[in-house]
Amino acid sequence: MKAVFAELIGTFWLVLGGCGSAVLAAAFPQLGIGLLGVSLAFGLTVLTMAFAIGHISGCHLNPAVSIGLWAGGRFETRRLLPYIAAQVIGGALAGGVLYLIASGKPGFTVGGFASNGFGEHSPGGYAMGAALLCEVVMTAMFLFIIMGATDKRAPQGFAPIAIGLALTLIHLISIPVTNTSVNPARSTGVALFAEPWALQQLWAFWVAPIVGGILGGAVYRALSRD
């Protein structure tokens, strides 16, 4: 239960920090942090929480990561559902807190609320096929990096840095395509409070990251066998 609660807190921080930077700070008048700042914010949430709770829960913060680590032989089947439930609850709590903060500004309109989307709801207008492919590939690479960085043969103590930087890079590449999910809990947490289209398209940001996570975990497992 300590590990499950740690996952809830960690995912809360990821959604609040990453999506909060997008909703509150990305386009702030004159001092907006922009795409680069949002990308860095997501990376920093993982980096900081990996040091904070990595020794308690492994710091997955993401159903696709938990499933990908399971596919890679690094996570027990019996722990999947409790971890995923905690991650989704943590993301939803963060979405609620962020909504309460954002709605305190005069003239607030919810809009997309940092949700992920494709077609007319993609930041760059990318079609569904391109969005799905992007999410599958980005999540697969994320899992590959996580598996490699946490391998017992890798340099010890540096995994949080590699994983945080990987998530930053993923956002730099894919924010224009889908607003970057690679994490169903992150997508769900803000979609619950956004305009109706966010929930209508949410399926894509469960299916594609999970497929990518399984691919990344399985490929690394195959390559790392002695």
Q: What are the extents of the domains in the chain?
A: 1-224
From residue 83, give the alpha-carbon distance in Å to each of 4, 75, 211. Answer: 6, 11, 18
The tens digit of pLDDT for each residue in 32-58 reads: 999 999 999 999 999 999 999 999 999
pLDDT exceeds cutoff 90 at 225? no
Architecture of domain 1-224: Up-down Bundle (1.20)
Inter-axis angle of helices 2-20 and 80-102, to 10 degrees?
40
pLDDT exceeds cutoff 80 at 213? yes
Q: Record the pTM.
A: 0.95
pLDDT band for position 30 (50/70/90)? Answer: confident
Tokens for 4? 């499950």
DSSP string, 128-181: HHHHHHHHHHHHHHHHHHHHHHTSTTSPTT-HHHHHHHHHHHHHHHHHHHHS--
From CA 106, how far away is CA 182, in angstroms rounded? 32
pLDDT exceeds cutoff 80 at 122? yes
